[in-house]
Chains A and B, each alone.
Chain A
Amino acid sequence: MNSALIKKALELREESNSDALIVYINSKKDLESIRSLKDGKIIIITNNKSLLKKEEDFPVILMPVELPRIKRRIALAIAAAIENKLIEDGYNVVFVENTDKYKIISIEKAEDGIDHGIYRLLSKTRDIDPDVIYSVLEITKELGKKGREGEPVGATFIIGDSGNVMRRSTQITYNPFESSFINVKDSVVKSMLKEYSRLDGAFIIGDDGRVISASRYLESGKNDIELPKGLGARHISAAYITKVTDAIAIVLSESDKMIRIFSKGKLVLEVDPEEL
Chain B
Amino acid sequence: MNQIEDLLVKSWNNIKEFFPNIVAAGVILIIGYIIGRLAQKGIDLILKKTGMRRYLERVEEREGRDIGISISTLIGVITKWIIYIVAIMSAINVLGITGLNQVIAQLVTYLPNIVFAMIIIVLGIIIGDKAAGIVRCTCEELKIPKYWIMGNLTRYIIYAIVIIIALSQIKIRTDVLIIGITIVLMALGITLIIALKEIAPNMAAGFHLIHDTPFKIGDMIEIDGNEGVVDNIGLVSTTIKTKGEKIIIPNSKFLKNVVKKKLQ
Contact = CB atoms under 8 A, between A and B. Distances in A.
Interface of A: 127, 161-167, 169, 179-183, 186, 206-208, 210, 212
8 contacts: A166-B216, A167-B220, A179-B210, A182-B143, A182-B145, A206-B217, A206-B232, A210-B232
Contacts of B217: 162-163, 166, 206, 212
A123 B229 CA distance: 26
Contacts of A180: 143
Interface in B200-220: 210-211, 213, 216-218, 220
A179 B234 CA distance: 10
Given A179-B213, A212-B217, A163 B143 contact: no
A207 B246 CA distance: 13
A179 B235 CA distance: 10
Tell which of B145, B210, B230, B231 has the most Cβ of chain A within 10 Å. Answer: B231
A234 B95 CA distance: 92
Contacts of B228: 163
B241 interface: yes
A206 B241 CA distance: 13
A210 B239 CA distance: 13
B83 interface: no
Interface residues of B, number: 20
A165 B144 CA distance: 24
B218 A166 contact: yes
A165 B217 CA distance: 9
Contacts of A161: 231, 241
Contacts of B231: 161-163, 206
A167 B210 contact: no
B229 A181 contact: no
Contact of A163 (B144, B146, B213, B230): B230
Contacts of A186: 145-146
Contacts of A181: 143-145, 235
Interface of B: 143-146, 210-211, 213, 216-218, 220, 228-232, 235, 240-241, 246
A169 B213 CA distance: 18
The winner among A161, A162, A165 for most chain B CB atoms within 10 A is A162
Contacts of A169: 218
B218 A165 contact: yes
Given A164-B218, A179-B211, A183-B145, 9 more contacts: A161-B241, A162-B217, A162-B218, A162-B231, A163-B228, A163-B240, A181-B143, A206-B217, A206-B232
A161 to B, nearest CB: 7
B170 to A, nearest CB: 41
A169 B217 CA distance: 11
A180 B145 CA distance: 9
Lowest 4 A-B CB distances belong to which pairs?
A166-B218, A163-B229, A163-B231, A180-B143
Contacts of A207: 232
A163 B213 CA distance: 15
A196 to B, nearest CB: 15
Nearest to B246: A127
Contacts of A166: 216-218
Contacts of A179: 143, 210-211, 213
Nearest to B211: A179
A196 B216 CA distance: 21
B147 to A, nearest CB: 10
Given A179-B211, A206-B232, A208-B232, A163 B218 contact: yes
A164 B229 CA distance: 7
B242 to A, nearest CB: 10
Contacts of A127: 246
A206 B229 CA distance: 14
Contacts of A164: 218, 229, 241
Nearest to B264: A167
B230 to A, nearest CB: 5
Contacts of B220: 167
Nearest to B144: A181
A264 to B, nearest CB: 16
Contacts of B241: 161, 163-164
A165 B240 CA distance: 13
Contacts of A206: 217, 231-232
B251 to A, nearest CB: 14
A212 B233 CA distance: 10
A162 B241 CA distance: 10
B216 to A, nearest CB: 7
Nearest to B218: A166
Contacts of B146: 186
B7 to A, nearest CB: 77
Nearest to A178: B213
A54 B240 CA distance: 35
A183 B145 CA distance: 8
Nearest to A204: B217
